[in-house]
Amino acid sequence: MYLADEAWPDLESYFEAESLALVPLGSTEQHGPHLPEGTDHIIAESFARAAAAETGYLCTPTINVGVSPHHRQFHGTMWVDGPAFRDYVESLTRNLAYHGIDRVIFVNAHGGNVEHLREVGRRVRDDGTMYAIEWMWDESITERIEDVFETPGPHGGPKETSLIQHLAGDLVHEDRIEDARDGGLVEFDEDTGRQYGATTFYDAIDNTDNGVLGDQTDASAAVGEELFEAALANLCKLCEWLADQPFEALTPKPHV
């Protein structure tokens, strides 16, 4: 069920019977010369709406702009500062609690949002309002991604390219995929952007001239479909697991 498509009288029965909602979040930021700036929010909304359709749980409208100042040098990137993002997401989440929701899954597709969503989850859990957790599609199928790609790339790489080829192929500039690889950073490891134990970069452009990492030529719509279905299965399982938990099992433990 997609909240924004429903008339308010038709939502009453959902809030009476269910207590879980999916909140998709992404970003509007550069994803290299070949992918749309909406890559992350397209992915997040696709997962959340598909999971809602499969499980019957509620999906809210998508938060399209996230914490992305580290991509600001590239044309069109939009962002909000971390404190503003946290306050906004917390307010939206408490709005759901007003209607009777006491557990939320943040269906997130942007790494820059993670720490802020965890903080919001802690805030609403600590005061007993609800239990909210963050889910990222690629973190749910890490082994499968490693099996498929030699260099998956954490941003604008073949895993995101494959998903957008599957979900919104008309937005992919197929003729720029080799340029994405050749103008980005293909080879990297845990020492990239670090010196003597310190992380030395702040912005994506410090490591990659065109904003992306990995070998995008490994991507395909067929692989994107396979990855989408695998991660979606895990999201649906997470929904069912969370819905089955007694609320008291999700609240903070008492002081020892």
Query: Is the separation of the CB atoms in 59 and 51 below 8 Å?
Result: yes
> What are the sequence ranges of the domains in the chain?
3-250
Distance, in Å, from the CA atom of 255 to the CA atom of 218, rounded to the nearest integer, reads 51
What b/e readout covers 41-51, taking b as 16+ CB neighbours within 10 angstroms?
Answer: bbbbbbbbbbb
Helix (H, G, I), strand (E, B) or coil at 212: coil
pLDDT in single tens digits along all 256 residues of the chain: 999 999 999 999 999 999 999 999 999 999 999 999 999 999 999 999 999 999 999 999 999 999 999 999 999 999 999 999 999 999 999 999 999 999 999 999 999 999 999 999 999 999 999 999 999 999 999 999 999 998 888 899 999 999 999 999 999 999 999 999 999 999 888 888 899 999 999 999 999 999 999 999 999 999 999 999 999 999 999 999 999 999 999 999 999 9
Query: Is the separation of the CB atoms in 235 and 135 below 8 Å?
Result: yes
CB-facing half-sphere around the CA of 120: CA atoms within 13 A: 26
Is 3-250 a CATH 3.30.1490.440 domain?
no
